[in-house]
Structure 1
């Protein structure tokens, strides 16, 4: 089990004591050390609740949560939180500093980090997200994508083992989403961090090592992205769009092209088309 950095075991959670159907109903899954795990599902499926339980922001009614080999308890919740960086949907809700560098330094001040090391970590984190030149700017004057970069810098400055993106790209335009995903990918590779992404974005899902599908407070399935995307039109019922290549394959089948798969990577589809056309 040493390869598992997070484990949820038979977790039950209700927001209200008299809630008849639990928000999370006996869910069990794990996150491997160093992997990128996406959690998807419709609003209300329980995905955001699950990650808030991991960080100790909520407390389960029953079951166990293990973070880096430790059972999460009231006694160690603050130590556990230092291992997890959270980036939420709206970065404005996370800003506390008057400038970008003040904001990134805030959590480091709270743990009593010496000033020289604090400054070094702030500068390094801002350089990683290409926001160093904005260090003296007011956060309120930044674009949405820039704000999310600063939020990520604040998370990685704490050197967490795990970073959780709770729909962190959902308010960005396509270019901003692409840049943010690329930034996270670069940071993950450099630090060997585990990434958990709650998302509806297919580009994020496609980068995952595995995908947990949540449905009505339970784990509907766990698979890799290719297995998930091969489910075709069923994806709509899971809160995802149909991948571009799946839509193309569907139209090609109507034109009497033969495909055994419902999903291929774009390069795979390109190669398959060349092969099929060369036979005509």
Structure 2
């Protein structure tokens, strides 16, 4: 399976792709404030690529639990200069992590190739889908909801959510073959829901290719009472199981460690006689 987006092409046929996280925010739960200048962000992107990242996911608005929404102007000022510099000086695929269509369009103009929307095209009235259709770009659509309560089976609820995402895409001219889905671990889900979704991940793999974003999240540290910085091994374990369960892309902070682990896992998963 191949994806083409704004001059970049990538395959999901032979290896798990690694998306490196680049938060240019002061308050992200794991690395907030570490890369909130253009030069620091650029150097970190360069490091992530050298470690094996296929995609750099740039975000200027924290979506951690309890986050405070920043203004459109602030988000634009955080991400656009970074995207411009990286797109000009580094050879990589760039994803913009935003739920604002205005930021998405500005990012695509600045050199980004993928929209990563934590509301799965459902936060506005089709405006994000229209932007994606206009640029014919790949969209990562994440499952999300405001509460952790589900009136029905959680996987059934997710299937209905993604059905709506695809309907919005179609009605706004976006090629649905450009959509990658994200189960939204940690978003609108508690500990038990996260574990169940991961256990049943294969049940949604028929919808579209899956991106899995679990890096250092709270449920990984819960049982052992680990801080975000201590959750690397747990993250690798969850991501490896996720790949075995159907995930094609993983979104992580620790690229090098995952590259090493997945170089072995992929040999088994994609083994051909």
Q: TM-score over 0.5 for the alignment?
A: no
**Smaller-chain TM-score bracket:** 0.3 to 0.5
Provide TM-score, normalisation by structure 2: 0.37
Between structure 1 and structure 2, the one with the greater Rg is: 1
Q: What TM-score, normalized to structure 1?
A: 0.36
Instruction: Report which structure shows greater RCO (CA 8 Å, sep ≥6).
Output: 1
